[in-house]
Amino acid sequence: MDIVSDLPSEKIPLAGLRILVTRQDTTESSLSEMLKIQGASVIKAPMTMITPPTSWELFDKTVRQAAKFEWAIFTSSNGVRHCFSRLKELELSPKYIFSNLKIACVGQSTASTLAENWKVPELVPLHYQSEGLLESFKKYDLKHKKFWLIQAQSPRDILRNTLVKEGAQIVSTPVYRNAPAEIDHTFLLNELDKNQLDWIMFTSPSAIQNFQQILPSEFWQSLSTTPKIACLGEITAATVKSYGLEVHAKPEIQDFENLVKKICEINLKKTENR
């Protein structure tokens, strides 16, 4: 865990706020940096770590049979990055593997990561969850079509199950997994106990689940003031609510830029109403 602080300025939206980021920043995408640019002091305590899957066996086998599929679906930016990293290890070209497949992505962020690495996908739904992709697929005949799902280990079942109901044939290969972060959370508990956090940012269901695991029994309820909670998307927000917690911010468009924009709007409005 570490803290990154900027000198506060009244001219920037998040000046004076202390915000907890519960995801692991990457060189490609840093929620912490976006918040810092807007003036926030950022406390970083990742609740999950992105690690390789338990085994690459199924992925490696499927890669050799890629020509048999009509569609490949990427459900996250992590899926794109880890897939392409593994192909590089196998000394295989993405163009060679995917050139004859239609590509679909869940979310613009995933599509952008794919475009940066290789190409623009054929299908990206306006709604950024799996449900949005399934809605977009309604205009296609899926019966007997072969789909390759490239995603996390132990993913949500809705995408696979719904495609199967429409007659599609599915092979799902894990290319990464979310594991609980192994860090000392004593400092975080002290921050919460002393009411020193204004916001907590959750970007995945596993983050809030692991966050709940580190809290002592009745700890949250004992706090005199609790931080506001911001969630990246509907599924994460639903997970937060399942623990009886309130969601104070959720962007309409599910990406980090719009999440930060939402927090800025809320804080500026609060400032104006003082």
The pLDDT-based confidence of 255 (bands split at 50, 70, 90) is confident
Mind listing the domains of the chain with CATH numbers? 2-47+181-272 (3.40.50.10090), 51-177 (3.40.50.10090)
CA distance 45 to 213: 14
Q: Return the pLDDT at 3.
A: 44
Neighbour count for residue 10 (Cβ, 10 Å):
8
Q: Which comes out higher in pLDDT, residue 233 or 237?
A: 237
Q: What is the pLDDT of residues 140-168, one digit of tens each?
A: 999 999 999 999 999 889 899 999 999 99
Q: Number of H helices and number of E strands within the chain?
A: 12, 10
In this prediction, residues 20-38 reach a mean pLDDT of: 91
Q: Return the pLDDT at 131.
A: 79
- State the pairing for strand pair 102-105/146-152: unpaired
Residue 21 has pLDDT above 90, yes or no: yes
Closest CA to 262 of 272, 270, 252: 252
The secondary structure of the chain in percent helix, strand, coil, rounded to multiples of 5, reads 40, 20, 40
Neighbour count for residue 38 (Cβ, 10 Å):
18
Within the chain, strands assigned E span: 2-4, 18-21, 41-44, 48-51, 71-74, 102-105, 146-152, 169-180, 199-202, 228-231
Question: Which two structure tokens, joined as six digits, stand for 199?
Answer: 């916001």
Mean pLDDT of the chain: 91
Neighbour count for residue 266 (Cβ, 10 Å):
16
Q: Return the pLDDT at 63.
A: 98
Q: How many residues are recorded in the chain?
A: 274
| pLDDT > 90 in the chain, percent | 75
- The DSSP result for 175-219, as a single string, is EEEEEE-----HHHHHHHHTT--SEEEE-SHHHHHHHHHHSPTTH
Residues 6+ apart with CB under 8 A from 38: 12, 13, 14, 260, 263, 264
The pLDDT-based confidence of 8 (bands split at 50, 70, 90) is very low
